[in-house]
């Protein structure tokens, strides 16, 4: 472990991240909608599943490998595409390096603060994630830029409800420029955490929140706020639009944000290779249950035709094992790695991934499996008899 890393589990990392980050930045990381019911539900669902440990014939070696979107990874935890990782100077490039060191893939958001070409150089298993922003020619140009940069797969994310309300506070709107007036407005937040701000100054930069992967017609990178305004004014894509995108890309393709069997089947029909069940980490409609609760139903409906992933609420290696036991091919982690990034940059992200990997192996040891692919629902104890929730069909 790097001497810069100062946490032993994700709970410690979260506490340290909250102390280190300016309040507005922390609120953006914490996120969630309205009363945060879904935000907490994603965590609660994992706590309603247990294991039945074994004591005989425990394994001495562990095989946690899997393949998702044509990419071989050492364990079934992928870095989720999360926007604007300018919470540490290492940014997305540092996260990509950490994922490569850990032997897994990097999901890169359209809203990233680092360009896709820089990230693919840091991790040759980069998956580019697209939001439907702007016109079709603009979207096509961004897809082709990702292809040219060497992105190995494409994700289209469709689960965002544009709900701005949060009972615990909402961060200020992202800037649309870095004019003197804007900088004066942001300065108190930055200066409230001098060590955090100093880490940028040592690199000769400031967290200006440009989004280079949502480049405009002239190739320039807009500020987050300006791109967000365009996102909110862009009509949402139809099924035919997503099929067009799938055909345009031509390679491994995932639809992220699926919550119903109907949508899962539609993803199969348009030729997607994978889906991710997601409520956007509690940022879609508050009141929607954890995808973990309906994961087995979706796997039963389409799992023989398409790989099924899940995200939301994963904080431990045992959580990953629970998801795999219910039928997930792999999981995405978002806030978990952001906590590590906030605390110790690239090394912090790497340690988060190592904590999760060690937790997977420790759980496999406890339930007597050498290969993660052998884990099944038979290894689980349902602590809530009403745990499983059939999704809309």
| Active-site residue set | 280
Token pair recorded at residue 322: 């629970």
SS3 of residue 129 by DSSP: strand
**Residue 288 main-chain phi, psi, to 5 deg:** -85, 140
Length of the chain in terms of residues written = 393
| Distant-in-sequence, close-in-space partners of 272: CB < 8 Å, separation ≥ 6 | 246, 253, 254, 255, 306
| C-alpha 334, offset from chain centre | 4
The rounded distance, in Å, linking the Cα atoms of 385 and 39 is 22
CA angle 273, 278, 282 (to 5 degrees): 160
Contact 191, 197 (CB under 8 A): yes
* Distances 142 to 95, 135, 258, 382, 387 between C-alpha atoms, Å: 21, 11, 23, 44, 41
Cβ contact 338:87 at 8 Å = yes
Rama region for 389: left / alpha / beta (φ>0; ψ in -120 to 50; rest): beta
Helix (H) or strand (E) holding 97: helix 91-102
* CA–CA dist 358, 346 (Å, integer): 18
């Amino acid at each position: 472990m790097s001497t810069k890393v100062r946490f032993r589990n994700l709970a410690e990392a979260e506490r340290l991240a909250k102390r280190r980050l300016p309040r507005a930045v922390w609120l953006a990381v914490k996120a969630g909608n309205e009363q945060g019911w879904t935000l907490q539900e994603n965590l609660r669902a994992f706590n309603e599943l247990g294991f039945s440990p074994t004591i005989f014939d425990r394994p001495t070696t562990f095989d946690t490998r899997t393949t998702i979107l044509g990419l071989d990874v050492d364990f079934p935890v992928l870095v989720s595409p999360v926007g604007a990782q300018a919470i540490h100077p290492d940014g997305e490039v540092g996260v990509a390096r950490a994922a490569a060191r850990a032997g897994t893939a990097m999901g890169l958001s359209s809203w990233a603060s680092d360009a896709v070409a820089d990230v693919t150089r840091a991790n040759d298993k980069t998956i580019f994630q697209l939001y439907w922003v702007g016109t079709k020619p603009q979207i096509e140009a961004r897809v082709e830029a990702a292809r040219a940069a060497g992105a190995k797969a494409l994700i289209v994310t469709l689960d965002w409800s544009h709900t701005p309300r949060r009972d615990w506070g909402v961060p200020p709107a992202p800037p649309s420029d870095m004019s003197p007036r804007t900088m004066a407005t942001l300065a108190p937040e930055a200066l409230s955490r001098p060590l955090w701000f100093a880490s940028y100054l040592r690199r000769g930069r400031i967290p200006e929140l440009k989004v280079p992967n949502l480049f405009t017609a002239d190739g320039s990178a807009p500020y987050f706020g300006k791109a967000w305004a365009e996102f909110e004014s862009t009509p949402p894509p139809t099924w035919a639009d997503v099929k067009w995108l799938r055909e345009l890309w031509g390679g491994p393709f995932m639809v992220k944000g699926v919550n119903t069997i109907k949508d899962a089947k539609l993803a199969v029909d348009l030729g997607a290779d994978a889906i991710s069940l997601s409520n956007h980490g509690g940022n879609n409609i508050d009141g929607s249950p954890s995808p973990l609760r309906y994961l087995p139903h979706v796997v039963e409906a389409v799992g023989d035709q398409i790989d099924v992933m899940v995200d939301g609420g994963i904080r431990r290696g045992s959580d990953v094992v629970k998801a795999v036991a219910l039928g997930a091919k792999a999981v995405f982690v978002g806030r978990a790695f952001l906590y590590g990034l906030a605390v110790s940059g690239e090394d912090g992200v790497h340690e988060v991934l190592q904590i999760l990997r060690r937790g997977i192996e420790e759980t496999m040891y406890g339930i007597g499996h050498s290969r993660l692919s052998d884990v099944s629902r038979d290894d689980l104890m349902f602590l809530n008899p009403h745990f499983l929730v059939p999704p809309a069909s």
